[in-house]
Chain A
Amino acid sequence: MLKIENLYKTFNPGTANEVKALQGVSFELPEGSFVCVLGTNGSGKSTLLNAVAGSFYPDEGKIFLDNENITHWPEYRRAKHIGRVFQNPYSGTAPEMTIAENLVMAAKRGRPRGLGLALNKKYLTDFSDRVKPLNMKLEERIENPIGKLSGGQRQALTLIMATWQKPKLLLLDEHTAALDPKTAAKVIQLTEEVIKKDNLTTLMVTHSMQQAVNLGDRILMMHNGKIAFDFSGSDKKRLKVNDLLALFDEIRRKEQIDASVSELLMKSYV
């Protein structure tokens, strides 16, 4: 479904703030797979997600979605096929507009928008029916501004919005990182439900190793803009949090060795 070929991206090239965020990332996601992307801060996991979403264009490499080359499609055009939930719970909804208005904009994701009235009775009942199972009493506030809701409620709604129309690809960018543990658990439960229901192809960035272990059928571990490890199938099932911690430790030690070794060599050769 999603194919990434040799993706490179450098921010602020040629300046003191140069960041080589992606350095040759390639992988392929078959339809219906659910991948967790793990990595340290600055490993490029969010950059990878944003590159797929189209927030910027890569310097090199190609992105294919459903065999279509979308590398140079603008963000709004890709949105037709991609549903997205952001890290910041306030990013995914328009605060001054009502819950119903937010949902109806999502219900028309990627479809031509005309001069017909956006909302009608059928949509309103559909929306009420859909938010009722959240047990947040949102069905009573469907015509109230969404900005009055809590971060967790807004994130749950963003998730519903991203999947209202079945996307070819669902992108989740640490979407529980800014929530308290209880709310995060609820949002994760909802995430599992919607992904299972429609068998969605999902790319989820997280820094919770517990989430990566519990969810999905594959783990990509990123480091320094590259994929350091890729576990799927029975390997992924066997992985525990401790194994992941050990891998992170291994990466860190390898890095230290690089630095200390070069220092040693410098002493003898320079």
Chain B
Amino acid sequence: MTLLVGSLTIGLILALLALGVFISFRIFNFPDITVEGSITFGASVAAALISIGWNPLLATILAFFGGMIAGAATGILHTKFKINGLLAGILVMTALYSINLHVMGKSNIPLMSVTTLFSWFEGWTPAFFGTATDVNVLGWTVNATDIIVMFCILIITIFFGILLFWFFKTDIGTAMRATGNNPQMIRALGVNTQAMIILGLALSNGMIAIAGALLAQYQGFADVQMGIGMLVWGLASVIIGEALITKKTLGFVITGAIMGSILFRLLVAIALRWGMNPNDLKLITAVFVFIALILPGFIEKTKKTRLSVNIKM
């Protein structure tokens, strides 16, 4: 049960990553690999500041702005300098590796003995459960602190989900969606599409940096390697999310991405529990995303061949 609550918590933290990837991958139709640098950037900024005694909330907010700058950099390389989107992301991601080492001063920072957001969350346990250390949830005994932490993260994730939903319904947000959907049309309606892409990538990477900052505080350390494979992870969450929803409206898609992240994390936890070699995790994730990407086209193709066979008969 502890495993389940832990997986849910990480799934909820990484839902912010999924929402960020949703912006670049589904709104702008390009896989922004800056993610792998910006999630670590968020983690290292927050960790570096918290470890020197900063307020953890302030440190997390600063991580958000750090991520926004990284995303904006990719956006500027892509739009103003006409560099291919994937390559622009690779350049920023690579640059961030060195920056992250500078920010942290070493390859990782432990956060075990300092006050983080999670120390605050844990401190709220007595207010809800009194002195009890274990609570009964649907017949299972669960650590009270774990439950509180999970609920705090749930609230944060829902907050960002609603914020994103609201943003995409505003004038700027609709213009941003149109920029990905039909740039020619929205330019003819007076929108600077380059500015939209820069702003969108900044928001995307800002949210991803928050995911990094929260993850570092949850697991108790920030590591310069923690971003590796995160883009594929986010893509997997978004794709699973799309399979879970019945309607393609904005609210459903955002909810789907959050659910996708949680479900994906659970699947991974179960697979690891069953004895899957952790070294194979990234390979299996990549294969999974590959299959999810080609499957719709493949199904379409088999349908067509069947149709042509019928006609011949």
Contact = CB atoms under 8 A, between A and B. Distances in A.
A109 B178 CA distance: 13
B184 to A, nearest CB: 6
Interface of B: 166-167, 169-175, 177-178, 181-182, 184-193, 248
A189 B175 CA distance: 30
A75 B187 contact: yes
A93 B193 CA distance: 15
A251 interface: no
B190 A76 contact: yes
Nearest to A77: B190
Given A86-B184, A91-B184, A97 B174 contact: yes
A116 B170 contact: yes
A185 interface: no
Q: What secondary structure prevails in chain A residues at the interface with B?
A: loop
Interface of A: 53, 74-77, 79-80, 82, 84, 86, 91-97, 101-102, 104-106, 108-111, 113-119, 161-162
A95 B181 contact: yes
B190 A104 contact: no
A138 B111 CA distance: 58
Given A108-B171, A118-B170, 11 more contacts: A75-B188, A80-B190, A94-B177, A94-B182, A96-B177, A96-B248, A101-B177, A113-B171, A113-B172, A114-B170, A161-B189
Q: What 3 A-B pairs have minimum CB-CB distances, sorted nearest first? A: A79-B190, A113-B171, A94-B181
Contacts of B187: 75-76, 79
Nearest to B178: A94
B186 A113 contact: no
A76 B185 contact: no
18 contacts: A53-B188, A74-B192, A76-B193, A79-B190, A80-B190, A84-B188, A86-B184, A91-B182, A93-B185, A94-B181, A102-B178, A105-B178, A105-B189, A108-B190, A110-B189, A113-B172, A118-B171, A118-B173
